[in-house]
Amino acid sequence: MKAHLTRRYIFSASHRLHSDELSAEENHAIYGKCSNPYGHGHNYALEVTVSGQVNPQTGMVCNLADLDDAVQRGVLDRFDHQNLNSRQELASAVPTTENLSAAVFNILQQSFTAAHLERVRLEETMMNSFEYSG
Amino acid sequence: MIYLTRKCEFSASHYYYNPKLTPDENQRIFGKCANLNGHGHNYTLEVTVKGEVNPKTGFVVDLKELKEILNREVLEALDHRHLNKEVPEFANVIPTTENLTIAIWNRLQSKLNGAKLHRVRVYELPDLFVDFYGEP
C-alpha cells in the first residue's frame, strides 16, 4: 500500500525581490514594495510530502526522524534566520517563493532517499503558498 | 467532477511496538512511541469524495448521510479508544498514522453511496499528516 506522508516545518528569513537586469522603475513596477532596498522578512511554513510503500515491519513510509534530520540539515540550517539573497543556492535567481520552493525541492531530492519526494509546498504568508513537484 | 471534503476529529491512544523485533530495535526505530503504556493524540480526519453533481439535488453526496457513515464506521470504532487494544485492524499491525489512514479508507470504501472515495487524510498533529488514495 502506497501512502503519502506530509510534515510541516517553520523557518524565518528575509529577502528582497530585485533583479539587477531590470531598471529601478521596472523593479518597482514588477515587485512593488518587495523591492524596497533593505529587504523584509517572512515566517515561512514548509510542507514536505514523501510517498512510498508502508513498510510492514514498521508501519511507516519512512522514519520521521530521518526526514526531520534531512530537512534540518538541508533546509532549516541553510535558510532559517538568513537573508535569502545572500545564499549561494539562490545566487542566480530572484529569491521569490517560487524559486525557493524549487531550491528546497532540489536540495531534498539529493539528500533524502529513504522515500520518494513528491512535493514541497511553501507558505510565504497566510495568504499565499507555492508548490513544486520537480 | 467535484471534490467534497468533510472533516471530523477523534481522540485515541496507541503505541508502536513490533514484537518480532528486540526491545532495543523497537526503541531505536520508534523512540518514545514504543512506550508500552501508550500515549494519545487528537486526530483530525479529512475524507474527500468525488463525483458529478446530481442535477436534482445539486449535491455530490448527501452530507448528512456522509456524516452518519463517518460516525458509524470510523468515530464509534476509534474515538476515545486504544487503537492497539480495541480496534481489530491493529491486533497485529502497528497503528502508525500510515496504517490508520489505510484502515479508515478500508472502513469507508464500500460504505459510500453515490460518490467515490478520493482521499483519506489523517492529521496526527498539526504538523504531520498522511494521505491515502487507495493506491496498491
* C-alpha cell recorded at residue A28: 518597482
Domain assignment present for A76:
yes
d(CA B73, CA B61): 17
Number of domains in chain B: 1
Contact B79/B44 with Cβ under 8 angstroms?
Answer: no
Between β-strands B39-51 and B116-125, what pairing exists: parallel, antiparallel or unpaired? Answer: antiparallel
Contact B114/B61 with Cβ under 8 angstroms?
Answer: yes
Domain assignment present for A21:
no
Given B25, B52, B68, B80, the catalytic residue: B80
Domain assignment present for A29:
no
Domain assignment present for A125:
yes
Give me the pLDDT at residue B5, please.
Answer: 97
Residue-range definition of the domain harbouring residue A95: 2-13+41-132
Cβ <8 Å between A5 and B98: yes
d(CA A63, CA A112): 11
pLDDT digits (tens, 9 = 90+) for B38-58: 999 999 999 999 999 999 989
Give me the pLDDT at residue A70, please.
Answer: 98
Chain B: residue whose CA lies nearest to A56:
B93
pLDDT digits (tens, 9 = 90+) for B75-88: 999 999 999 999 99
d(CA A23, CA A100): 23
Q: Which of A78, A63, A45, A44 is nearest to A5 (CA)?
A: A63
* C-alpha cell recorded at residue A11: 523557518
Q: Cα A134 from chain centroid?
A: 12
Q: For the complex shown, is ipTM > 0.85?
A: yes
Give me the pLDDT at residue B112, please.
Answer: 92
Q: For position A112, which CATH number holds?
A: 3.30.479.10
Cβ <8 Å between B132 and A6: no
A9: contact with B, CB 8 A cutoff: yes
pLDDT digits (tens, 9 = 90+) for A98-125: 999 999 999 999 999 999 999 999 999 9
Q: Which of B45, B48, B97 is nearest to A4 (CA)?
A: B97
Quote the longest CA-to-CA distance of chain A: 60
Residue-range definition of the domain harbouring residue B107: 2-132
Q: Cα B69 from chain centroid?
A: 13
B126: contact with A, CB 8 A cutoff: yes
Domain assignment present for A81:
yes
Q: What is the mean pLDDT of residues B108-130?
A: 95
Q: For position B13, which CATH number holds?
A: 3.30.479.10
Give me the pLDDT at residue B117, please.
Answer: 98
Q: Which of B124, B125, B69 is nearest to B98 (CA)?
A: B124
d(CA A92, CA A85): 9
Domain assignment present for A123:
yes
Tell whether the model's pLDDT for residue B113 goes beyond 90.
Answer: no
In B45-104, the residues whose Cβ lies within 8 Å of chain A are: 93-99, 101-102
d(CA A22, CA B131): 43
Domain assignment present for A7:
yes
Using CB atoms, pick whichever of B102, B127, B131 lies closest to residue A8. B127
pLDDT category at B114 given cuts 50, 70, 90 is: confident
Residues of chain A predicted below pLDDT 70: none
Give me the pLDDT at residue A30, please.
Answer: 97
Does the active-site annotation cover B33? yes
Number of domains in chain A: 1
d(CA A65, CA A91): 30
Domain assignment present for A34:
no
Q: What is the mean pLDDT of residues B126-132?
A: 98
User: Could you count the other beta carbons within 10 Å of the beta carbon of residue A73?
Assistant: 13
Q: Which of B44, B21, B135 is nearest to A54 (CA)?
A: B135
Q: Give the pTM.
A: 0.92
